[in-house]
Copies of this chain bind each other. A is one copy, B any other.
Amino acid sequence: MRKLRLGMVGGGQGAFIGGVHRIAARLDGQWDLVAGALSSDPEKSIASAQELGIDSQRAYTDFKEMAKAEATRTDGIDAVAIVTPNHMHADPAVTFLESGIHVICDKPLASTDQDAVRIKQAAHASNASFILTHNYTGYPMVRQAREMFLSGCLGELRLLQVEYLQDWLSHPSSPDNKQAKWRTNPNLAGAGCIGDIGTHAFNLAHFITNQLPSKLSADLTSIVDARAVDDNANVLLRYPNGARGILWASQVAVGNENGLRLRIYGDKGGLEWHQEMPNQLMFTHFGQATQVLTRGSESMTAPIAHQATRLPAGHPEGYLEAFATLYKEAAELIRGNMHMSTLLPTLNDGLIGMEFIRAAIDSSKQDSVWVPLNCS
């Protein structure tokens, strides 16, 4: 079985998420990185490619050129990973989709609704797949939670609380901080923490429950003076069945590193999961002792969780393994093993994320009025 060939747009020297995508692609031995337009700066693009062992002929300085060349090679890339800042997702996504090359795109989908629509149209017109790396869905215990929820272990949804807390933007960022620079620029990022991490939280809740709120009420704030985007988002949720929720995203909560954590309560049971201790899932059946379900053990009963893990219980898997699961399943999708890839986040998840951002911003601008979420 041949390895699949991956190209990459963005992710040159100094970037963060590009390196994560590369490890994730490598981890399960399904992908070779063979081409890249790693930077808009030609020299950096070449140097980065060389460092990564990419053949110099396939170290492009322009993603359009890359799409064209790769589409015509017999050994052209099977898929491209787009790991640029948000405002630079749409152009390469549309280009590669039009070239019939599968796209694996970092989240959120785009920095503007117009860009999102362009990607949507290109995806609909293309035979290639579009995958959005909502990587937290790759954690085995997140999938165990989904399976338990959907099979009724918790009963009907009543309450949901999801939070994603960081503290790295607690102070005005140094101009040298490349990550902070584009993530706090509304033109490049589109939104602040509501987009950068709030969409992850929203997606996680959706992934596990398969339910979306019908309305939200948001209070977005720029806590740090002179910051042009929100760095804290307090959001209330209402579900069609009457269930209620809270989503809290913050990048100024001192002492929190990457605190994505979710609690769900139904009439029969409750569960809790923390990204920083991802190998555990706490589950309580009403009136019984809380159980500590663990990845890889007999308490991890869901086949979709087993499919996403590599090690026996007690040998912790982490962020990279969860991310790698998306790449492994993307490979399955491309190879045609559709049943192995049903959980992959898609364009639709990206559009839902855009709608969530829009609604949150709209609500917040109107003093937290309840705003409907229109996710078709």
Binding site for B on A (CB under 8 A): 1-3, 16, 19-20, 22-23, 26-29, 51-53, 154, 158-159, 161, 166-168, 170-171, 217, 219, 221, 223, 232, 234, 236, 238, 242, 244-246, 248, 250, 252-259, 263, 265-272, 275-279, 282-294, 296-299, 310-321, 367-370
Evaluate whether A158 and B27 lie within 8 angstroms (CB atoms) in the complex, with A291-B289, A319-B316 already known: no
Residue of B nearest to A282 (CB): B255
Question: In the complex, what's the smallest C-beta–C-beta distance from A335 to chain B, in angstroms?
Answer: 14
Pick from B158, B250, B291, B315: contact of A291, CB under 8 Å: B291
Contact B368 A257 (CB under 8 A): no
Q: Is the CB of A252 within 8 A of B159?
A: yes
Q: Do A319 and B317 form a contact, CB below 8 Å, given A279-B276, A292-B292?
A: yes
Contact B250 A248 (CB under 8 A): no
Chain B neighbourhood of A319, CB < 8 A: 311, 315-317
Contact A255 B272 (CB under 8 A): yes
Q: Is the CB of A236 within 8 A of B238?
A: no
Closest chain B CB from A247 CB (angstroms): 10
Query: B29 contacts A27, CB within 8 Å?
Result: no
Check if B259 sits within 8 Å of A238, measured CB to CB.
no
**Between-chain CB contacts (< 8 Å), 18 pairs:** A23-B28, A23-B29, A158-B232, A217-B217, A223-B242, A253-B270, A255-B283, A255-B290, A257-B314, A258-B313, A276-B314, A279-B318, A287-B298, A288-B299, A315-B318, A316-B316, A316-B318, A318-B321
CB A361 to nearest CB in B, in angstroms, measures 16
The reply to whether B269 and A254 form a contact with Cβ atoms under 8 Å apart is yes
**Known contacts A159-B223, A159-B250: does B1 contact A278 (CB below 8 Å)?**
no
What residues on B are CB-neighbors of A219 within 8 Å?
217, 236, 238, 244
Q: Are A258 and B292 in contact (CB under 8 A)?
A: no
Q: Closest approach, in angstroms, between the C-beta of A175 and any C-beta of chain B? A: 19
Contact of B53 with A1 in the complex, beta carbons under 8 Å: yes
Question: Once the chains bind, are B20 and A311 in contact (CB under 8 Å)?
Answer: yes
Q: Are A244 and B254 in contact (CB under 8 A)?
A: no
In the bound complex, residues from chain B placing their C-beta under 8 Å from that of A234 are: 236, 244-246
A279 to B158, CA, bound (A): 28
The winner among A272, A275, A290 for most chain B CB atoms within 10 A is: A290
